[in-house]
Amino acid sequence: MSDEKWSQRDYHHPAAGWGAARSVLGLIAGEGEWVDGTRAIFRVNHENGGFDCPGCAWPDDLKGLKLDICENGIKHVTWEMTRKRVDRDFFARHTVTELRHWSAFELEDQGRLTEPMVYDPDTDRYEPISWRDAFDLVGAHLRALESPHEAAFYTSGRLGNEASFLYQLMAREYGTNNLPDCSNMCHEASGRALKASIGTGKGTADLKDWEAAEAIFVMGVNAASNAPRMLTALAEAHQRGTRIVHVNPLVEAAATRTIVPHDFVEMGLMRPTRTSNLNLQIRPGGDMALMRGIAKVLLEKAERDPRALDPEFVERHTTGFEEYRALCAATSWEQLERQSGLDRERIIDAAQIYSLSDRTLISWCLGITQHEHGVDTVREIVNVLLLRGNLGREGAGPSPVRGHSNVQGNRTCGIDHRPTPEFLDGVAEACGIDPPREPGLDTVGTVRAMNEGAVKVFVGMGGNFAKAAPDTPYTAAGLRKCDLTVHVSTKLNHSHLEHGRAALILPCLGRTEKDHQRAGLQSSSVEDSMSMVHLSVGMKRPASPHLLSEPAIIAGIARATLPDSATPWEHYVEDYDRIRDTMAQALTGFEDFNRRVRLPLGFRLVQPARELVFLTPSGRAEFSLAELPDVVPAEDDVLVLQTMRSHDQWNTTVYSNDDRYRGVRNLRTLVFMNARDMRDRGIAEGDPVDIESTSRDGSRRRLRRYRALAYDVPRGSAAGYMPEMNVLVGSADYSTQSDQPLMKNLLVRVVLSTDTEEEANHGERIEGARAR
Ligand SMILES: Nc1nc2c(c(=O)[nH]1)N[C@H]1C(S)=C(S)[C@@H](COP(=O)(O)OP(=O)(O)OC[C@H]3O[C@@H](n4cnc5c(=O)[nH]c(N)nc54)[C@H](O)[C@@H]3O)O[C@H]1N2
Ligand SMILES: Nc1nc2c(c(=O)[nH]1)N[C@H]1C(S)=C(S)[C@@H](COP(=O)(O)OP(=O)(O)OC[C@H]3O[C@@H](n4cnc5c(=O)[nH]c(N)nc54)[C@H](O)[C@@H]3O)O[C@H]1N2
Ligand SMILES: [Mo]
């Protein structure tokens, strides 16, 4: 973070390659982690021993060189393994009010948290507290609440399966389903859509399918930065002749060419592999129209050539086909072109690639889900797959790219504010508790409830709720209204500083560290994007002798809160095999858990839809019949703004102000715009602009003196970075289908700034909410 001037120019090198290699070396050296860093890298994602890379949820490669790592994974691992420490002296030197002005980078860069800390309002500082007193404080607050629903238990997607199971058990034994999680902002739409369409809320494809596909659609994901190991799959697929279609308003680095990250020969020769056959620069939110257009082309073609569809599959395994056919016929090309922002010819090109392939995978991430119509769009993706039987067949199926490394496992193990009756029955029987049956609060609901005084205790199991959640000042105000906020964390972040009247920071072991309990060295399991469950074992000495594991912290809180609990909390923590034995009884698909998770590559959870068993009301895969929404803003001067990640950040952790593949150096307070949209507004390259959003409740919010940069985005759309831009997301701006905040769909006006430098960059709310 220097005062060095910013710059932006096109990046012409392939993704991964030497830019990435240089960056990795700098990172390892920079953190003073040469030895540990390099040793750790060779232990990431290994089949025997080693820890699961916390960088993303892409599965481990099962073949070839076991060097399945990437630049951003290494960045993430070395960040956790830093030698720097945030100790009691640090907290003694800085008041909370002072720290609140530090950047996210500056806070995390102080290093690892070392001991439990409690907030002292008299000194406005965090001070040391013993674990026992910390647990007692949480227990006292939770026991004093009038109703268990006055507490919320947030989870960020790093938490291992065993800890997730204990955490949900504690919340439910205590009496609430208030289990908001990061998935509420991430893939909630995918889960709901897949559950409705095919009966189970997960993708059906695995890495073998990626290797067998004849066509792959990559929709709304910046793979080179956020799932870099996907680059290998794409490059290898392209070399095999697989046709690859990228759908994205931006042409991202992975959508052109890459150097296979672990192919050192190719790196040496600088020989890039192409990763695309077709790039479709879609209008934001236009993906559903594209999918419907593809279906329309296929259905018209099928009138002359029945092989355009898979009539046998449709007949045997689906319902609603005739209605869907009629819906497609009734949707005009004019509508499809306008809503997708694509010409008919381009849609036909995509349909052609799709219809010439007998094995097609469609993968997607936040560009699809963080929209009002995220659920309908994912269901439309499934509709298109069903038409040609691309399900339950090798090389085919829906393949959402999940975010956090264990976000899928969290859900499987019960982190869900809307648990199914079957799930609760399993837990009730195996654990002898009587769980609450009514749905709990999700992320958006928790923020509102804290502000309304309905939630008084907030427990965050990892993550950075204050910055990750929408409407930053409103979320902060909610946290500050709480009687108690508790954060289980590895590093300091703003959530510790927007605290309740009483507040605790509880430091935990990271995934790279050895977790010793009474029965010896413990391991935790995780589930990747493709339903593979395997063990992760830390190999480093803990950052401090005072750290506890997440299961131990949960057990400590549970015992203090539920003194008469029949759950053997201490017994569980002594040996995680015991937790797994209970999970084997409680959770479907976890039979014989302890044995199977120790198989060299773990095991694959059964995904019934892949076996063509559909747990839907009809027992079949269900075509969805949603009306095509209007995604074009009503007013001409409004732009649709998306908030995304740079190459050099991990969610709320910002490593630098650079964004290599988009050619940006030293600037995050930027907005990418179409050059013609800039000209229309009298804005020149790099001019300071104000960005004003209008929320659904009529309230307006503004960011000042951002820099406008011309970028290849469709007219009428714009892009900038999360989490800074969360100040523009109103608390009313969430999808009615998924309750996900509309982080890729903000309606904004951008104008030349008339402010002075001093007024720069502070997000603000500029008008009270009008009633809807
Ligand atoms: N290095 C690194 N890795 C990460 C993360 C990280 O922060 N850093 N975060 C992790 C997490 S939690 C997650 S959820 C994932 C996020 O992975 P991504 O989904 O790649 O995250 P974003 O950076 O938000 O990028 C969204 C992409 O969707 C595109 N997009 C926006 N709107 C639309 C649209 O309407 N239609 C289409 N088709 N595309 C659109 C954007 O141009 C961008 O390419 O990555 C995970 N991996
Ligand atoms: N505007 C906008 N907002 C977004 C998004 C967007 O695209 N646009 N994306 C959303 C998405 S997809 C997500 S997933 C959320 C992310 O929301 P979160 O998961 O809440 O945020 P992270 O930044 O991933 O959390 C980082 C913190 O986790 C803690 N941590 C790291 N490792 C560990 C560990 O092993 N154990 C524990 N206990 N703590 C640990 C550290 O203290 C670190 O500061 O943000 C959402 N917010
Ligand atoms: Mo995410």
Q: What is the pLDDT of residues 636-669, one digit of tens each?
A: 999 999 999 999 999 999 999 999 889 999 999 9
Given this model, what pLDDT does residue 253 score?
A: 82
Residues 145-156: pLDDT tens digits? 999 999 999 999
Q: Pocket residues for ligand 2 (CB within 6 Å)?
A: 108, 156, 158, 182, 185-186, 366, 370, 403-404, 461-465, 468, 488-491, 493, 508, 510-511, 550, 643, 651-653, 722-723, 725-726, 729, 743
Same structural domain for residues 470 and 532?
yes
Given this model, what pLDDT does residue 13 score?
A: 75
- Best mutation site among 644, 652, 655 for ligand 1, i.e. most ligand atoms within 8 A of its Cβ? 644
Tell me, using a 6 A CB cutoff, whether residue 653 lines ligand 1.
no
In a domain, 291, yes or no: yes
Lowest mean pLDDT among 33-47, 169-183, 521-535: 33-47
In a domain, 619, yes or no: no
Same structural domain for residues 369 and 465?
no
Number of domains within the chain: 3
| Cα 321 from Cα 315, distance rounded (Å) | 8
Given this model, what pLDDT does residue 762 score?
A: 56
In a domain, 520, yes or no: yes
Q: Determine the distance from the C-alpha atom of residue 749 to the mean position of all C-alpha atoms in its chain, rounded to a whole number.
A: 27
Q: Determine the distance from the C-alpha atom of residue 755 to the mean position of all C-alpha atoms in its chain, rounded to a whole number.
A: 35
CATH number for position 695: 2.40.40.20
Distance 465 CA to ligand 2 centre (A): 7
Same structural domain for residues 217 and 201?
yes
Please identify, among 601, 622, 652, the residue that sits at the C-terminal boundary of a domain.
Answer: 601
- pLDDT confidence of 259, banded at 50, 70, 90? low
In a domain, 772, yes or no: no
Given this model, what pLDDT does residue 66 score?
A: 38
Burial class (CB in 10 A: 0-12, 13-18, 19+), 312: exposed
Residues 96-117: pLDDT tens digits? 999 999 999 899 999 999 999 9
Given this model, what pLDDT does residue 405 score?
A: 85
Same structural domain for residues 310 and 443?
no
pTM above 0.85, yes or no: yes
Q: Kindly report the average pLDDT of the chain as a whole number.
A: 91
Please identify, among 358, 375, 400, the residue that sits at the C-terminal boundary of a domain.
Answer: 400
Tell me, using a 6 A CB cutoff, whether residue 649 lines ligand 1.
yes
Ligand closest in space to the Cα of 181: 2
Residue identifier of the C-alpha nearest atom 1 of ligand 1: 226
Given this model, what pLDDT does residue 260 score?
A: 62
Is pLDDT of 195 > 70? yes
Given this model, what pLDDT does residue 3 score?
A: 54
Tell me, using a 6 A CB cutoff, whether residue 652 lines ligand 1.
no
What's the rounded mean pLDDT across residues 420-425? 97
Please identify, among 552, 577, 601, the residue that sits at the C-terminal boundary of a domain.
Answer: 601
Same structural domain for residues 485 and 576?
yes
Same structural domain for residues 247 and 390?
yes
Contact 579, 587 (CB under 8 A): no
Please name which of 160, 738, 721, 114 lies closest in space to residue 462, comparing C-alpha atoms: 160
Is pLDDT of 238 > 80? yes
Q: Which atom of ligand 2 is nearest to the CA of 407?
A: 14
Given this model, what pLDDT does residue 228 score?
A: 83
Structural domain boundaries, residue 549: 85-186+434-601
What's the rounded mean pLDDT across residues 595-621? 95
Distance 249 CA to ligand 1 centre (A): 12
Same structural domain for residues 248 and 391?
yes
In a domain, 37, yes or no: no
Given this model, what pLDDT does residue 65 score?
A: 37
Same structural domain for residues 166 and 240?
no
In a domain, 2, yes or no: no
Burial 195-225 (b: 16+ CB within 10 A, else e): bbbbbbbbbbbbbebbbbbbbbbbbbbbbbb
Ligand closest in space to the Cα of 496: 2
% of the chain exceeding 90 in pLDDT: 78
- The three-class DSSP label of residue 405 is coil
Q: What distances in angstroms separate CA 62 from CA 206, 207, 240, one per listed residue?
A: 11, 8, 18
Q: How many CA atoms lie within 13 A of 197 on its CB side?
A: 31
CATH number for position 201: 3.40.228.10
Given this model, what pLDDT does residue 270 score?
A: 58
Residues 377-415: pLDDT tens digits? 999 999 999 999 999 999 999 999 988 889 899 999 999
Tell me, using a 6 A CB cutoff, whether residue 247 lines ligand 1.
yes
Same structural domain for residues 92 and 198?
no
Q: Determine the distance from the C-alpha atom of residue 267 to the mean position of all C-alpha atoms in its chain, rounded to a whole number.
A: 30
Is pLDDT of 239 > 80? yes
Same structural domain for residues 104 and 214?
no
| Cα 24 from Cα 638, distance rounded (Å) | 40
Contact 45, 53 (CB under 8 A): yes
Distance 103 CA to ligand 2 centre (A): 15
What's the rounded mean pLDDT across residues 184-198? 97
What's the rounded mean pLDDT across residues 195-209? 94
| Cα 633 from Cα 338, distance rounded (Å) | 12
AA identity, residue 530: M
Distance 346 CA to ligand 1 centre (A): 24
Same structural domain for residues 320 and 340?
yes
Is pLDDT of 26 > 90? no
Same structural domain for residues 358 and 489?
no
